[in-house]
Amino acid sequence: MLWLFFFLVTVIHAELCQPDAENAFKVRLSIRTALGDKAYVWDTNEEYLFRAMVAFSMRKVPNRETTEISHVLLCNVTQRVSFWFVVTDPSKNHTLPADEVQSAIRMNRNRINNVFFLNDQTLEFLKIPSTLAPPTDPSIPIWIIIFGVIFCIVIVATTLLILSGIRQRRRKNKGSSEVDDIEEKLESMGTLANSVPCDSLDMKGGHINDIFMTEDERLTPL
Amino acid sequence: MEKAREQWENPLQFLLACISYSVGLGNVWRFPYLCQMYGGGSFLVPYLIMLVVEGMPLLYLELAVGQRMRQGSIGTWRTISPYLGGVGVASMVVAFLTATYYNTINAWSFWYLFNSFQEPLPWSVCPLNENLTGYQEECEKASSTQYFWYRKTLNISPSIQDSGAVQWEPALCLILAWMMVFLCTLRGTETVGKVAYFTALLPYCVLIIYLVRGLTLHGATNGLMYMFTPKVEQLANPKTWINAATQIFFSLGLGFGSLIAFASYNEPSNNCQKHTIIVSLVNSASSIFASVVTFSIYGFKATFNYENCLNKVILLLINSFDLEDGTVTASNLEQVKDYLASTYPSKYSEVLPHMQNCSLESELDTAVQGTGLAFIIYTEAIKNMEVSQLWSVLYFFMLLTLGVGSMLGNTAAILTPLTDSKVISSYLPKEVISGLLCFVNCAISLLFTIEAGSYWFDIFNDYVATLSLLLIVLVETVAVCYVYGLRRFGAELEAMTGCALNWYWKALWAFVSPLLIVGLFFFYLTDYILSGTLQYQAWDATQGRLVTKDYPTYVLAVIGLLVASSIICIPLTALGTFVMRRLRRGGSASVA
């Protein structure tokens, strides 16, 4: 009689956890891809740890604080490594609804990943979409800051160049007007011994050499 | 008292200005494409032949003419013959239209440069969709680099008719680009000469760094071997020779008037023959150098994608057949596939349609040119390198200096005739003319920042310069050789520089080069006529790829207008001068 009861229990258990059973999820691990040489072997102890993590996640759900490790059933473990799991209620007759299990796993995904040194891509819960980390958007986009810096530098450089150009031109104008002043002064002073500007040579002061006179006439008048 | 014409501080500045003008983006993104399409290593043969037969003579002609006449393009050609001032006007119009669209590339380079200072690079990851469960659909269908280019940078519309609004991010970068150009051309040769040191030499530094990095990348040798293996049968294809001639012609930047403008600030005794040879050789060497870098990057990217594809197939197999993780690798993939096909035939046939065919050759065969190469392919390769921010910043800095160097030449081509003209320069100082030009150009080029802007950019890129420049250079060569007189020009050149005009240059100027240009001109015309209606590539956001569409009629009219606007200057100005002379002669006859 006892054997029959035992047989029945295992059969029910087996029926609860089956590939594509109701409320069952498939899990796939890629340990070698994630860890390379440091990969650990997937054995029954690791399975125990997994069941413990699932039970831990379920205990965080309100009304399910009494979930035990024995309520989590694993089956069809392959070499890949992949397997199916279900979570049963305390009576071990029904499985807990898929939505509850899904939300529990999603809440604690990070901790489950870290326990096994894996991430969302190498520890896959098929049919449970992972929540992707939202991008950290800074309040001001970085490119505007750099743009602003370069823009200000260009404006400053342009203004400096324009101002220096204006100053140069003003100095040149003043310089040429100064030269004109000196010439006027020299004209009014009359003859001078040396350092006479050439323009004043054909003025009243000084003697005109007749020989050069003929050369002057050869030149076309302005 | 006549104000002395401003000059370069030393001949090196002139040389570097010419080099930075002619070594531009075309060397980086057009030459590798042509090399790949037209026979790999064997493309160098027609390329070098065309360089010697077409490139060097035409370059020497422009530099010599500019140095002799010591004026901008309009003044130069008017001096050669009063009826040919239109050639200068046509050059100016082409240079103006080119400057308008070319600076948009610098704006895009700025945008990418500013965005390179982030971790992770914004084009390496797809943005998430609303409920944070997956990536944006458009990004999934295309790739993250394509998404960043088409959506985040251009915000491209599905067709050229949907103009859309001005995008403020590229518009800001465009304004900055124009301010940069204004800053560099503000004082004429004084500033251009100093900037030329930077814009000519920096790209080579970056290219050398990239060469070392590129050659050490995993899979670079695949790319190099594939691209450079000569396919000698392509030499028999006439398109190879035509494309080699076209590439040399446009790469040197002939016909814009920039070279004439640069040479006009030279001392008359400058040895421009030596400079011609240096500039043309450096230009071609840069093209080949850049293509070595590009092919090693191609090889890296293709190998990376190929290995990714293999990994996906392996994952699919071990998931479907529950094999142990790590047992199937790239080396035993084929044997595993055969084993599975024989052991589980039904299941294997179910999985087979989902398995991609991974081929390294098909990855290497994707030949891209233009903005696609620079902003999509290169960024895809960069995001997979270590310390990708550094490589990205270096790369876009190089693109910027290449672009700004060419822009300076373009702007000089427009500014020099304007500052030479006594009417304009008596009212306005040089700085105001530059400022007005940059402002007007900036306002017009905001057209390229609208949502359909990239399509208009392609139109300008393909049609503004091609036919017009060929005609302009043809008229230039004929004018110097036959209207002005080859012997007279040769004698003047010898008196000016001291080196006699070689018979080689004379033969090329008088016969070979004009014939080549006429041939190219006819080829282009027949190509346009035979291809029927013109088409363009539009980005389809729903499918995540480019589709071909026809241009609407009003766009075709605009294209025709663009081409005609520069060509028609030549006969119009000749006619105008003829009429004016007739009137003046008639007026003076009536007075007498």
pLDDT in tens, A191-208: 555 655 555 555 555 666
Whose tokens are 């970085």? That residue is A142
**Helices and strands, number each (H, E), in chain B:** 30, 2
Q: What is the structure's pLDDT at B1?
A: 38
Q: What is the structure's pLDDT at A200?
A: 52
Tell me whether residue B458 is in a domain: yes
Judge contact between B565 and B95, C-beta under 8 A: no
Q: What is the structure's pLDDT at B2?
A: 45
Of A32, A143, A155, the CB nearest to B325: A32
Q: What is the structure's pLDDT at B347?
A: 83
Long-range contacts of A180-189 (CB under 8 A, 24+ apart): none
CB-based contact B111 A143, cutoff 8 Å = yes
Does pLDDT of A216 surpass 60? Answer: no
CB-based contact A135 B127, cutoff 8 Å = yes
Domain ranges of chain A: 13-125
CB-based contact A29 B114, cutoff 8 Å = no
Confirm or deny that B362 is annotated as ligand binding: no
Q: What is the pLDDT of residues B200-246, one digit of tens each?
A: 999 999 999 999 998 888 888 988 888 888 888 888 888 899 899 99
Number of structural domains (chain B) is 1
The interface residues of chain B toward chain A in range 300-339, judged by CB-CB distance below 8 A, are 318-319, 322-326
**Interface residue of A147, A176, A199, A222 to substitute, partner B, most B CBs within 10 Å:** A147
Nearest residue to A86 via CA among A76, A72, A65: A72
Q: What is the structure's pLDDT at B318?
A: 85
Tell me whether residue B338 is in a domain: no
Q: What value does the mean pLDDT take over residues A45-69?
A: 88
CA A121 to chain centre: 21
CA B581 to chain centre: 41
Cα–Cα distance between B4 and B21 in angstroms, integer? 25
- A to B CB pairs, distance under 8 Å: 82
Which helix (H) or strand (E) segment holds residue B276: the answer is: helix B272-321
Helices B430-445, B85-115: crossing angle, 10 deg rounding: 70
Long-range contacts of B126-131 (CB under 8 A, 24+ apart): B127/A135, B128/A132, B128/A134, B128/A135
- Which chain A residues touch B186 with a CB distance below 8 Å? 158, 161-162, 165
Q: What is the dihedral of CA A31, A36, A37, A40, to 10 degrees?
A: -10
Strand partners, A85: A25, A74
Q: What is the structure's pLDDT at B369?
A: 81
Of B118, B134, B324, the CB nearest to A142: B118
CB-based contact B186 A147, cutoff 8 Å = no
Question: Degrees (nearest 5) of the Cα angle A192, A195, A198?
Answer: 90
B83: how many CB neighbours lie within 10 A of its CB? 20
B288: how many CB neighbours lie within 10 A of its CB? 15
- Which chain A residues touch B322 with a CB distance below 8 Å? 78-80, 82
Q: What is the structure's pLDDT at B424?
A: 80
Tell me whether residue B469 is in a domain: yes
Cα–Cα distance between B545 and B146 in angstroms, integer? 9
Below-50 pLDDT ranges, chain B: 1-2
Helices A98-107, A44-59: crossing angle, 10 deg rounding: 100
Q: What is the structure's pLDDT at B101?
A: 92
Cα–Cα distance between B525 and B563 in angstroms, integer? 12
Fill in the amino acid letter for A141: P
CB-based contact A158 B127, cutoff 8 Å = no
For residues A43 and B368, the model is more confident at: A43
Nearest residue to B173 via CA among A37, A31, A147: A147
Q: Is A79's Cβ below 8 Å from some Cβ in B?
A: yes
Structure tokens that stand for B305 in this block: 């994608």
CB-based contact A151 B191, cutoff 8 Å = no
Q: Is B152's Cβ below 8 Å from some Cβ in A?
A: no
Cα–Cα distance between B416 and B424 in angstroms, integer? 11
Cα–Cα distance between B332 and B84 in angstroms, integer? 72
Q: What is the structure's pLDDT at B226?
A: 84
For residues A171 and A139, the model is more confident at: A171
Q: What is the structure's pLDDT at B399?
A: 92
Cα–Cα distance between B296 and B205 in angstroms, integer? 17
CB-based contact A135 B325, cutoff 8 Å = no
Fill in the amino acid letter for B189: T
Does pLDDT of A52 surpass 80? Answer: yes
Q: What percent of chain B has pLDDT over 90?
A: 39
CB-based contact A30 B132, cutoff 8 Å = no
Task: Tell me the nearest-neighbour CA distance from A130 into chain B, angstroms.
Answer: 7
Nearest residue to B51 via CA among B299, B355, B277: B277
Q: What is the pLDDT of residues B32-83, one digit of tens each?
A: 888 888 888 899 999 999 999 999 999 999 999 999 999 888 999 999 988 8
Does pLDDT of A101 surpass 60? Answer: yes
Write the burial class of residue A153 (CB in 10 Å: 0-12 exposed, 13-18 middle, 19+ buried).
exposed
CB-based contact A132 B176, cutoff 8 Å = no
Judge contact between A147 and B176, C-beta under 8 A: yes
CATH number, domain of B128, equals 1.20.1740
Cα–Cα distance between B101 and B10 in angstroms, integer? 32
Tell me whether residue B323 is in a domain: no
Q: What value does the mean pLDDT take over residues A10-34?
A: 78
Tell me whether residue B8 is in a domain: no
Of B128, B132, B187, the CB nearest to A165: B187
Cα–Cα distance between B60 and B505 in angstroms, integer? 9
For residue B263, give its domain range.
13-303+370-590
Whose tokens are 């050869």? That residue is A218
Judge contact between B57 and B50, C-beta under 8 A: no
